């Protein structure tokens, strides 16, 4: 059995207001970073999962995302999987 390091990135879906993103963009502009636009703030989750195959890890991550990590109405997610050496 191998250990896999997983990174999960969760953000608001396009079209959903991101109040933290708006606040960060406004602060950036006030501090002189006027070229900054379309700021989105999300969640970043890391974990290790022991599994036989990367496909098993994918299934687990997707099941966790659907059950409790992500609100599918307003959020979307991506993830990366890397075997720990």
Q: What is the pLDDT of residue 83?
A: 97
Q: Is the pLDDT of residue 85 over 90?
A: no
Convert the pLDDT of each residue in 24-73 to its tens digit: 999 999 999 999 999 999 999 999 999 999 999 999 999 999 999 999 99
CATH topology of domain 2-83: Mth169; Chain: A , (3.30.1280)
Instruction: For residue 16, name the pLDDT band (cuts at 50, 70, 90).
Output: very high
Q: Is there a contact between 59 and 9 (Cβ–Cβ < 8 Å)?
A: no
The Cα–Cα gap between 45 and 3 comes to: 17
Could you give the count of Cα atoms lying within 13 Å of 76 in the half-sphere of its Cβ? 8
Q: What is the pLDDT of residue 20?
A: 97
Task: Tell me the whole-structure pTM to 2 decimals.
Answer: 0.88
């Amino acid at each position: 059995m191998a250990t896999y390091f997983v990174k999960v990135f969760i953000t608001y879906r396009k079209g959903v207001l991101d109040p933290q993103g708006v606040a960060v963009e406004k602060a950036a502009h006030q501090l002189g970073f006027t070229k900054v636009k379309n700021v989105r703030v999300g969640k970043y989750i890391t974990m290790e999962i022991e599994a036989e195959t990367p496909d098993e890890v994918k299934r687990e991550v997707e099941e966790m995302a659907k059950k409790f990590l992500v609100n599918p109405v307003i959020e979307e997610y991506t993830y990366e999987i890397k075997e720990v050496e």
